[in-house]
Chains A and B, each alone.
Chain A
Amino acid sequence: MSKWVLAALPVAMLGWACAANAASINAMVRTPDGIPVEDAAVVLNPASGMPRPALRRATIEQRDREFQPYLTIVTKGTAIDFPNRDPFKHHVYSFSPPNVFEIKLYADKPAKPILFDKSGEVVLGCNIHDWMEAHVLVVETPWFAKSGADGSATIKHLPAGAYRLRLWHPRQRAVVADVKVELKSTDAQHFDMTIDVAPRAVVKKPPPDAGGY
C-alpha cells in the first residue's frame, strides 16, 4: 500500500518540472519510543508565494471492508473518487467541517467524485461498517509526502527557499510544531522527526463471514 502511495502523482509531476535544480528532503518519523510511524503526513509549506497547483483527481477505494488508502493527502480542489471494490454496498460519509458529505449506499463507482475544496482534515467513515476509517488531509501546498511502513517520507524536486515543515498524523496525540527549513537548490536534507500516535483499531473489524460480508 505504502509503495503505491509513494508513487503519488503530485510529487512525480513536480519532480519532473524542476528536475534540473531541485532539492529534496527526507523525514524519518518515529514515535518517542523509536518505532517507525506509517501514514504520517510530511508537508512543506513555502514561507511565501504559494504556487497554484493544478486540479487533480485521487481515488480512495473500498476494498475488503476497508478504505484504501488509510491516509490520502491532496491539494485543495482535488476531486476524489470512491470506487467500491466490495461485492456489497458502502455508505461513505464525512462529518468533518471542511467537507461534510455523504455518498448513500452505492455499489461500484459513484456517479461523480467528491470535490475537496477546503483545506483541512477530513475523516471518512462508512455508515454500515463502523470500523472503516479513512483520513484525507487537504493542503494548499503541492509539496507533501506520506511516511511508509519504515517511517520514511521523501519530498523531491523542491525549489530552494524557506519552508515550514509540518508533521501530522490522523491519530496524533499532540500537534507537532512546524519546523523551519531553508533549502538550497541541491540540498537533500534529512529530518528525524518524532510524533506520539495513538494506536488504531478503535473499532475492531469483525472477520468476514462465509459469504465474505
Chain B
Amino acid sequence: MTVFRSLERRIAVVFVGLLVFVMVLMLLIVGRSSEVIIGAESQRQLAAGARNFSNLIERDRRQLELAASVLAGDFGFREAIATQDRATVLSVLRNHGSRIGARMMMILSLNGEVLFDTRRPAEASHTFLFQALLDRAKQEERSGDVVLMEDMRPYQIVIVPIMAPVRTAWVVMGFPVEDTWAEEFSRSSGLDVSVVSAAGGIRASSLPPALRQALTAVQWEALDEQPKQLTLAGYHYHAVSLALGSQARVLLMLSLERSEAVFRNLEHILFIIAACSIGLFVVGSFSLARRIAGPVNHLVRAAQRFEAGDYSPAATVSAPDEIGQLAASFEHMRAGIAAREQKISRLAYEDTLTGLPNRTRLTESLSALGPDDHAVIAVLDLDRFAPINDALGHRVGDSLLQLVGSRLLEIMPQGGMLARLWGDEFAFLIEKAEPETARQFAERLLEALRKPIDIDGQKLDVSGSIGMAFYPDDGCDMDVLLRRAELAMYAAKQRQCGCMFAAEVGEGPPPEQLSLIGEMRQALECNQFVLYYQPKLDLAANQVVGAEALLRWQHPERGLIPPGNFIPFAEKTGFIREITPRLLEDIAAQAASWRERGMQLVLSANLSARDLLNPGLVRLMRELLETYGLSPQALCLEITESALMEDPMLAQAHLAELAGIGLKLSIDDYGAGQASLAYLKSLPVHELKIDQSFINSLALSPKDAAIVRSTVALGHALGLSVVAEGIESQTDLDWLREVGCDIGQGYFIARPMPAADFSAWLTRRALI
C-alpha cells in the first residue's frame, strides 16, 4: 500500500478511518435503534391512541347523555311531550334536538314503542329496533351506542328517560357518524379513524379519498385490538380494529411514515454531523499528521543531505515535544559527524607536519580538472635537504619543512594549491597558468627560497629545484603529470638550473617505467626483489673469494626484469633509498648464512649515489654487522665512479666513515667517470673495478688492453686490489691473470645465480 509509505498519510488514514468506522457504526446503530424504537413507539402510540379513542368515545357518549338528560329535564320539553299532540311533540323534538345537534330524535313509550320519530313524523308507532339498548337504559337510567339505522347509516344514539318526575317516556337522540365525526376523533387521538359496518363498507373516515378507496381493498377483518402492519396505497400503517357498538368497527391507523419522519430527520442531522466531523477530522488529522510528519520529513531530508556529504546545519525544529528532542539529538549527531568527518578528512587530506594538503588531496584536485581547464603542476624539491636533516637532526629538518611550507604559501597565487608530496618535495597546482606566468612564478619561488631560513637562531641556506608540467599539454593523467613534473625537477636539479619544464625534458622514461614506480613499492612489500650472486674469482689462486650481489626484479607478469630497466629510475626517484637497506640486510644475512656453512666469501653490494650520501648508511651497516655477527671484512660496498662525483666531498666523508668501521670499499665502473687520480688517491677504498667496457674489448682493442694493464698497475701502485668484470673468455682470463689482475668476474666464470644455486655451483667447481 503506497498510501502507507508516508507517515503523514498513515496517521491521517488511520485517524479518519477509525472515525469513519465509528460514525458508520453509530449511524447503523442509530438506524437500527430507530427502527426498533419506531416499531415499539408506534405500537405504543397506537395502543395509547386506541385507549384514547375509547376514552373519547366514552366521554363523547357521556356528554351526549348528559346533554340529552338536561334536555329531557327541560320543563317546557316535558310539558310539550305531556300534551301528546303529535305536531307539538314533533316540533319540540326538532327544536330541542337542534339545541344539542341531534339529527334524529325519538320518543319511546316506557315499553319500547316508538311514539314519535323526527325522521318519519307520519309513521305510526312501532317497536324500537334497539331493545337491548333500551333495556340497558332501564337498568342504568340512560344508555348510548353506535348503531346502524335502517338505512345502514351509523348513528351514535343515546336513550334517556323523561322524568315527570317519575319515568314517563324515553327520548332517543341520534348523531350521525360521518366523516366530520371521524376527523374530529382523528384530531383528538392522533390516529387515522375509519368506521366500517359489519356488513362491509366504509361509513366514515378521516382518510383522504384515495386512501379510503384503498382501504376498501384491505383485509381489515383480520385486524383486532393487537396492532398489525397494514399497507395502504404504498404507505405503511400500524392498525387496530375496535368494536364500535355491536354493528360497526372502527379502524385506527398510525402512519409509520409520520412516526419515522422525526427519526429520519434525526438521522439526517446525524448524517450531516458525521459528514462534517469526518471532514473536520480529515483536515485536522492531516494538519496534525503534517505537524508530526513535517519535522520528521525535514529530518529525513537532512539525513539524506548528510548521506550525500552535506553537513551544513539543518533548519532546527523547535517543537518542545519528542520530535523537537529528536531534532536536537539529530543536530548534535550532525555536528558530531561533521566534526569527525572534518577530522578524518584532515587526516586523509592534510600533511600533518606542515598542515598543507597532502599528495592525495592534490591528486584529487588534479582529477577534478575538466578537459577545457588549463593548469600547471610545479614540483619543488629542496636541494641538500638530506645533509641538513642528517647534520642538524630530524627536529630541525621538520622545522625547516614547516618554515619552507609557510614561506611557499605566502607566494602561492590566488586559487592555487600547495601540497607537500613527501619528504622535502612540495607541489603547486595553479589553474589557468600559461608557460610564461609559470616561469615567472618559478622565479619568484626560487627567489623566495634564497633568503636564509632562521631556525632557533641558526641561519640555513636552502635552495630548490622546480619541475613543471602543464595540463593537459603534458598529460591528462594525474600520475603522468606529477611524474613528468618530478622528472623535470630531477633534470633541473641535475643541471642545477633551478627550473625546467616537462616539455624540455622530454617524455622521460617509457610508460613501462612510469608504471614501474607504483609497482616497485608493491614489489618491495611482496618481496619481488631478489638477489642474484656472481662469483668473484681470485685469478692467481683460481679460487672463488667472493660474490657480487646483483638485484633482480621477479615481476609476476613481466618475468625477470634486468636491473638496468629500473635501477636508474629508482635512483632518480630516490626510491632506491628504500630498496637499498633491504638489500644490505639480505646480503648480510646471506653472508652470515654462508659463513656458517664454511663458505668464507666476501659479498659485495652496489650503492647508488643517494645511498652513499644517506647519512644513515654507516649506522645501518654497523647494526647489520652486529646483528648478523659478521666481521666488517665480510662485506664490500661497491660505489660507481659517477656516484662519487655527484657530491665528491660528502662521498669522501661517508666513505671514510664506512672504512672506519672496517668495511671493504670498491670503486665500481672505474674508467667510465671523470674521477681524478688525486681524488681517487684520497679515497679510503680497497678495490678498483675496471669498467667492463674495457674488458669486453680486450681482444679487439690494444688501447683498451693497455688501459687495463696500466690501470692494474696503477691500482697496485695505490695499494688497491684490481677487479676485472665482464670476462667472457678463457683468453681474457688468461691475459688478465698474466697482467696481474687480482680478481675476475664475468659470464665465463659464472653468470649471476640465486643464492640457493650458488653453493651447488661452488661445490661443482671444486670438483673440477
Contacts and interface: CB of A to CB of B under 8 A. Distances in A.
A131 B82 contact: no
B73 A95 contact: no
B168 to A, nearest CB: 7
Contacts of B168: 95, 123
Contact of B163 (A124, A170, A203): A203
Interface residues of A, number: 15
A93 B165 CA distance: 9
Interface residues of B, number: 12
Given A95-B78, A95-B82, A202-B141, A125 B167 contact: no
Interface string B165-188: 111100000000000000000000
Given A95-B82, A100-B82, A130-B73, A125 B141 contact: no
Given A95-B82, A95-B168, A100-B82, A127 B75 contact: yes
Contacts of A170: 166
Interface in B61-95: 73, 75, 78-79, 82
Nearest to A171: B166
A143 B79 CA distance: 34
Contacts of B163: 125, 130, 202-203
B18 interface: no
A103 B385 CA distance: 171
Q: Which applies to chain B's interface (DSSP): helix, strand, loop or mixed?
A: mixed
B78 A202 contact: no
Interface in A113-150: 123-127, 130-133
A124 B168 CA distance: 12
B165 A125 contact: yes
Contacts of B166: 123, 125, 133, 170, 202
B141 A123 contact: no
A85 B236 CA distance: 71
A125 B167 CA distance: 11
A130 B72 CA distance: 12
B82 A123 contact: no
B164 interface: yes
Contacts of B73: 130
A133 B165 contact: yes
B427 to A, nearest CB: 141
Nearest to B168: A95
Nearest to B162: A95
B165 A203 contact: yes
A161 to B, nearest CB: 35
A123 B79 CA distance: 14
A43 B163 CA distance: 27
A133 B163 CA distance: 10
A100 B165 CA distance: 13
Given A100-B82, A127-B75, A130-B73, A95 B164 contact: yes
B164 A123 contact: yes
Nearest to A134: B165
23 contacts: A93-B75, A93-B164, A95-B78, A95-B79, A95-B82, A95-B164, A95-B168, A123-B164, A123-B165, A123-B166, A125-B163, A125-B164, A125-B165, A125-B166, A126-B165, A127-B75, A130-B163, A131-B165, A133-B165, A202-B141, A202-B167, A203-B163, A203-B165
Given A123-B168, A125-B163, A202-B141, 9 more contacts: A95-B79, A95-B82, A100-B82, A125-B165, A125-B166, A133-B165, A170-B166, A202-B166, A203-B163
Interface of B: 73, 75, 78-79, 82, 141, 163-168
